[in-house]
């Protein structure tokens, strides 16, 4: 099996990495910055349900950890599972937040670029929330 094309998108946040991790690792905060998962978020057992741009989504989040890992898995209405690796990495008094976007098998160049722009908008929204509000 060949590897898929991937892009890692990142923002620097002028906030302590632990504060960023604590905020971003709380699924109840996801609607404050992640537009693709912003609607109808509710907990159901070990998963979360959300209204995504193409229908209902099921989301599993990585367990809380000391390493800044914010990975999550999104299952679409069609049953396709999308792995979304995400990290918070200390950088002096601030941090770097990175998200790796994998190109799906049926995705053309335009759609991959559109998804990358969407992820970057969401990361920029996370930065804005964390740098302008006392969360």
Round the average pLDDT of the chain to a whole number and report it.
Answer: 91
CA dihedral (116, 117, 122, 125) positive or negative: positive
Of 35, 58, 42, which Cα lies nearest the Cα of 123? 35
What tens digit of pLDDT does each residue of 52-70 get? 767 788 999 999 999 999 9
What's this model's pTM, rounded to 2 decimal places? Answer: 0.90
Which domains are present in the chain? 6-132 (3.30.530.20)
Per-residue confidence (pLDDT) for residue 51, from 0 to 100? 78
What tens digit of pLDDT does each residue of 82-112 get? 999 999 999 999 999 999 999 988 889 999 9
């Amino acid at each position: 099996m060949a590897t898929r094309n991937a892009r890692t998108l990142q923002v620097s946040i002028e906030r302590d990495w632990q504060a960023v991790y604590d905020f971003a690792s709380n699924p109840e905060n996801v609607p404050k910055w992640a537009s693709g998962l912003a609607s109808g978020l509710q907990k159901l057992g070990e998963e979360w349900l959300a209204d995504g741009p193409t229908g209902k989504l099921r989301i599993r989040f990585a367990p809380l950890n000391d390493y800044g890992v914010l990975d999550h898995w999104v299952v679409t209405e069609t049953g396709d599972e999308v792995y979304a690796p995400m990290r918070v990495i200390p950088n002096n008094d601030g941090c770097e937040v990175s998200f790796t976007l994998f190109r799906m098998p049926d995705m053309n160049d335009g759609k991959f670029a559109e998804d990358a722009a969407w992820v970057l908008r969401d990361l920029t929204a996370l930065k804005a929330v964390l740098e302008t509000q006392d969360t």
